Amino acid sequence: MNTSLPDTPLLEVENLSTTFMTPRGPLTAVNGVNLTLQKGQTYGLVGESGSGKTVFSRSMLQLNVSSNVQTTGSVKFQGEELLTKTRKEMQSIWGKEISMVFQDPMTSLNPVMKVGTQVIEHIRHHLGLGKKEARELGIELLRSVQIPEPEARMDVYPHECSGGMRQRICIAIALACGSKLLIADEPTTALDVTVQHQILNLLDFQRRDRDMSMVLVTHDLGVIAGRADHVAVMYAGRLVEVADTKTLFAAPKMPYTEALLRSIPRMDQPAHTRLLSISGRPPDLANPPKGCAFAPRCAYAQEQCENEQPPITTHADGSQSACWIPLGTPASRDALQKNLSAGRPQTLAMHNVASTTSEVK
């Protein structure tokens, strides 16, 4: 945990909530999220599909597409409030101070514009460079993201490039104007596994090289390990656990985090081990449960969990979690025993598979 706080954090999100007005009523996709990112650090944001990660990352920047959306709370970037800025003011921050890399490189480049044009158009717009200088800078950028023959690549169309190549181009675009913060929304989800690794390393290298900070949004905890300083786990629009990466992997406090960690396939398991999955599905956000949103799927859930929303509490090791019965406490062991003997199906699903695995061994 980084204890020294010399100046204002680069990004400070307080109580950020985003609500969509839908025909079925208001749907709160992001609910009271707090997050602090120091300069030069990487923040991992993890959660399964539909947990609100993407909406959160777009809400910070007022980039939500829908018009019937309401964002409340505070997002301070270098001490400046972003949520009260007008669209015009945001346009001088987007791409220049804060850049985004999106999930699907196949669709995030314009199919009818040349790669070169897309790499340099905002350079010219933000930095006021001439056509020739911008082009040279563009070639330099493509070279820095390890695209072979960058001069030739400037004049091709996106469909002539592979997926990995396109994501490199998107990264080059994000790096172009010297942004201080990079928000990468599932940057490798749409790519082949071998390419994923290259892209993540590239992002990490460029971030260090250019002294940027990064919010790395992903559903894959494996992507976070070794790349993020801090991790926030999101479930049903709320942060349920926040910790520095080592602590989170070593001693998760929230049963959801534990379940996510167990769902990562591991090399040291014998072949044909059934991969653990979390039974059930995330709650309907238009009709959220009264208590902890994870309780219906949780192995440890007790009566209190079903009825009361757990507050975020800070633990001795500095990590924070929103759970009535944090893992590693005697209460959690008791709860597990109680649920096992009562034959609670969620609990059996989580813990039987684990025990059969050890028997096979």
Partner 1 sequence: MVKTLGLRLVRLLATVFAVSFLTFFMTSLLPGDPVDTIIPPGIGERDEVLVAQIREELGLNDPFLVRYGNWIGDVVQGDFGKSYVTDQPVLSEITARLPVTAELAIVAVLMSVFLAIPLGIASAYKQGKAVDNSISAVVQFLLSVPPFVVGIFLIWGLALQAGVLPATGWVRLTESLTGNIESVILPASALALSQLAVFTRLVRADMISTLQENYVLSARAKGLTDGYVLFRHAFRPSSLSLITVVGLNIGALLGGTVVIEQLFAVPGLGRKLLEAINTRDIIVVQGIVLFISAIYVIINTAVDLIYMVVDPRIRVKSA
Q: Which residues bind partner 1 (CB under 8 A)?
A: 61, 63, 65, 67, 87, 90-96, 99-100, 102, 104, 107-113, 121-122, 125-126, 157, 159-160, 170, 173
Please, are residues 323 and 310 in contact by the beta-carbon 8 Å criterion? yes
| 3-state class (DSSP) for residue 294 | coil
Residue 116 CB, shortest distance to partner 1, in Å, is 13
| 3-state class (DSSP) for residue 127 | helix
Please, are residues 217 and 35 in contact by the beta-carbon 8 Å criterion? no
CA dist 114 and 77 (Å) reads: 33
CA dist 205 and 197 (Å) reads: 12
Residue 203 CB, shortest distance to partner 1, in Å, is 16
Nearer to partner 1, 91 or 352 (CB): 91
Residue 319 CB, shortest distance to partner 1, in Å, is 32
Q: How far is CA 239 from the centre of its chain?
A: 11
| 3-state class (DSSP) for residue 107 | coil
Question: Helices 345-360 & 255-262, crossing angle to 10 degrees?
Answer: 40
Residue 95 CB, shortest distance to partner 1, in Å, is 4
Burial class (CB in 10 A: 0-12, 13-18, 19+), 171: buried
Nearer to partner 1, 157 or 249 (CB): 157
CA dist 57 and 45 (Å) reads: 9
Residue 109 CB, shortest distance to partner 1, in Å, is 6
Nearer to partner 1, 87 or 361 (CB): 87
CA dist 336 and 163 (Å) reads: 45
Nearer to partner 1, 145 or 221 (CB): 145
Residue 330 CB, shortest distance to partner 1, in Å, is 48
Q: How does strand 42-46 pair with strand 238-244?
A: unpaired
CA dist 254 and 258 (Å) reads: 7
Nearer to partner 1, 6 or 111 (CB): 111
Nearer to partner 1, 90 or 225 (CB): 90
Please, are residues 337 and 344 in contact by the beta-carbon 8 Å criterion? no
Nearer to partner 1, 45 or 123 (CB): 123
Residue 221 CB, shortest distance to partner 1, in Å, is 25
Residue 174 CB, shortest distance to partner 1, in Å, is 9
Nearer to partner 1, 142 or 260 (CB): 142
In a 13 Å sphere around the CA of 258, the CA atoms on its Cβ side amount to 20
Nearer to partner 1, 119 or 147 (CB): 119
Burial class (CB in 10 A: 0-12, 13-18, 19+), 10: buried
Residues 6 or more apart whose CB falls under 8 angstroms from that of 275 comprise 263, 265
Per-residue DSSP letter, 227: T
Residue 102 CB, shortest distance to partner 1, in Å, is 6
